[in-house]
Amino acid sequence: MELFINQLINGLNTGSIYALVAIGYTMVYGIIKLINFAHGEIMMFGAYFAFVFAYMIPWNLPFILIIIISMILAAIMGMLIERIAYKKLRKAPRISALITAIGMSLFLQNLALLIFGASYKRMRPLVSTEPVHLFGFNISKLTLITIGLSVFFMMVLTFFIHKTKPGKAMRAVSQDKGAAILMGINIDNIISLTFAIGSALGALGGIFYAMAYSQIYPTLGVMPGLKAFIAAVFGGIGNITGAMVGGYLIGIIETMTKAYISKQWVDAIVFGLLILILLFKPSGLLGKSTKEKV
């Protein structure tokens, strides 16, 4: 039983990261129907920003400030990517935008390769990894912070989407762009805001990922980015709560499979489950099935 709880905590830790990154995929898809494949790379850059501010610039900034600066930089980066690469393609066929996103992903990977080099760098955790004794379990402090901060930011996001004006505008744009313009909503700004929020949360996921697994390298975003994308589809792409639930579920399923079945079955089980869900509920776990308009 103790082992089970410990593995559950491991799963929640990975799940928090997947959930944070999945939110970015789902928000962007919700608003411009684009699968932003460069999102994994934003996650990677977020981790590098934290690395630079923590170890390459000798300012000795506190942990929380490093996180906030990295999130802001990643948000700016996300907005720039949208303005430069995606905006002109809003009316283009969806496949063009998708290919652009893949191109952007490769471009960013190679940019990181040029700037930081190919070698794995050690990312020392910015907070203590010493185990903390809690309810009879030894949990690393970093894990507690990862889970805590993820849940906190998700709550802030939910509040923002449902209770504030820009949040309502965001929902309006995702429901009907034309009507939103008629209501006087500046959709360019709303789309930028969506990219900014998604990228900032993605960067936070990247920072936690690099700290938990102690390494940082230019292709860091590829696998977790893919898993987070699956989480977003799993939960119903376009649905923010769905992305969170999907992220936690994927994280827990993955860890439990590794722990109790076999490492080799992890991907087979995760992807098999995805296929099952999509067979019975094509719009994902929490996705609303929309009727095609003719």
Residues within the interface to other proteins (CB under 8 A): 2-3, 6-7, 10, 13-14, 118-122, 125, 129-131, 138, 140, 142-143, 209, 212-215, 217, 220, 223-224, 255-256, 258-259, 262-264
* CB contact set of 241 (below 8 Å; sequence gap of 6+): 158, 235, 286
Nearest alpha carbon to residue 247 among 126, 159, 157: 157
CB closer to other proteins out of 64 and 223? 223
CB closer to other proteins out of 170 and 231? 231
What's the min distance (Å) between Cβ of 230 and other proteins?
Answer: 14
Helix and strand element counts for the chain (H, E):
11, 4
Cα(185)–Cα(252) distance, rounded to whole angstroms? 40
CB closer to other proteins out of 100 and 255? 255
Cα(235)–Cα(246) distance, rounded to whole angstroms? 5
Which two structure tokens, joined as six digits, stand for 194? 């969506």
What's the min distance (Å) between Cβ of 81 and other proteins?
Answer: 24
What's the min distance (Å) between Cβ of 205 and other proteins?
Answer: 13
Residue ranges of E strands in the chain: 121-122, 131-134, 137-140, 215-216
8 A C-beta contact, residue 246 and residue 21: no
CB closer to other proteins out of 119 and 289? 119
What's the min distance (Å) between Cβ of 215 and other proteins?
Answer: 5
CB closer to other proteins out of 18 and 86? 18
Nearest alpha carbon to residue 232 among 20, 11, 12, 10: 20
What's the min distance (Å) between Cβ of 151 and other proteins?
Answer: 19
CB closer to other proteins out of 140 and 199? 140
What's the min distance (Å) between Cβ of 19 and other proteins?
Answer: 15
Residue 215 pairs in a beta bridge with 122
